[in-house]
Amino acid sequence: MKVNVDLSLMDMPGQLIRALEPISANNGNVIGVIHDHEAIVGGRITVNVTFEVHSDLALENILATWKENDVIMIKMDAVFESYPLQYLLVGDISSKEIESLTHGMESMEGLASMDIRITGSLTSGSRAAMVTGRVTRHGSLETVEQFFRQHADNGGYMLIRGLE
């Protein structure tokens, strides 16, 4: 599980290490730290930390240690990992087909976001559509690919996949 927190620390040397130590002590992995030295309020600064932990218990231990060490947590969000998808469709793609793809994708479990951009002439039969988006589970990528492959085979147009 990825977690993103805003922490309020005393603006004193060693405080950041004091905040990060409980994460590694609980087998967590620090992914990013944003440390704004300019914004000091009441002798405290805000630090944004993104980290990964393997269990709820590990997270509870980290939160308890922060409380003991006077590290104040202002905000906490769980960050869900998501995986990019990208497809380029080329050929005679009707508006009805685009609509069908959109509805099919929207009803798919695990879809976090999706965007379709279309170019080309409606009358020439030569169009290109770029589908981009994200899914929240790695396994969903295979389902999405099968979905597009099936549509491309049935519709007789070319499917170009992203280099995942």
Partner 1 sequence: MDVFIAGFGVVGQGITEVIRDKQELFIKHFGEKVRIVGAFDTKSLALDPSGLDPDELLKRKDSLGKVGKDEVSDDIVKLLQDTEYDLLLEVTPTNIKDGGAGYMHIHTALSAGRHVATSNKGPLALKFRELTELAERNRVHLRYEASVGGAMPVINLSRELLMGEEIASMRGILNGTCNFILHRMKEERFSFQFALREAQELGYAETDPSYDIDGIDSACKLAILANAIFDRDVTYADVSRTGIRGISEEAVALAAEHKQVIRLIGEVSKEKLEVAPRLVPAGHPLSIGGTLNIAQLLTDLAGDVTVVGRGAGRMETASALLSDILAILKNGETRRDAKR
Q: Which of residues 35-74 bind partner 1 (CB under 8 A)?
A: none
Q: How many residues belong to the site for partner 1 (CB under 8 A)?
A: 19
Six token digits for residue 163: 């280099």
Angle between helix axes 56-68 and 15-25 (nearest 10 degrees) is 150
How far apart are alpha carbons 129 and 112 in whole angstroms?
19
Q: Which is nearer to partner 1, 35 or 117 (CB)?
A: 117
Question: Closer CB to partner 1, residue 27 or residue 126?
Answer: 126
Q: How far is the CB of 132 from partner 1 (least distance, A)?
A: 7
Q: Are 162 and 87 in contact (CB under 8 A)?
A: yes
Stretch that binds partner 1, among 40-48, 72-80, 97-105, 153-161 (CB under 8 A): 153-161
Is beta strand 83-91 parallel, antiparallel or unpaired with respect to 44-52?
Answer: unpaired
Please, which residue, 71 or 93, has the CB nearer to partner 1?
Answer: 93
Residue in 34, 40, 76, 158 binding partner 1, rule: CB under 8 A:
158
Which run of H or E residues covers position 150?
helix 138-155
**Which residues from 80-139 bind partner 1, rule CB under 8 A?**
86, 88, 90-91, 117, 119-120, 126-130, 132
Distance between CA 126 and CA 162 in Å, rounded? 21
Q: Whole-number minimum distance, CB 118 to partner 1, in Å?
A: 8
Return the ∠ at Cα 160 (arms to 159 and 162), rounded to 5°.
135
CA distance 124 to 76: 52
Q: Quick one: 66 or 148, whose CB is closer to partner 1?
A: 148
Catalog residues that contact partner 1 under the rule CB under 8 A: 86, 88, 90-91, 117, 119-120, 126-130, 132, 157-158, 160-163
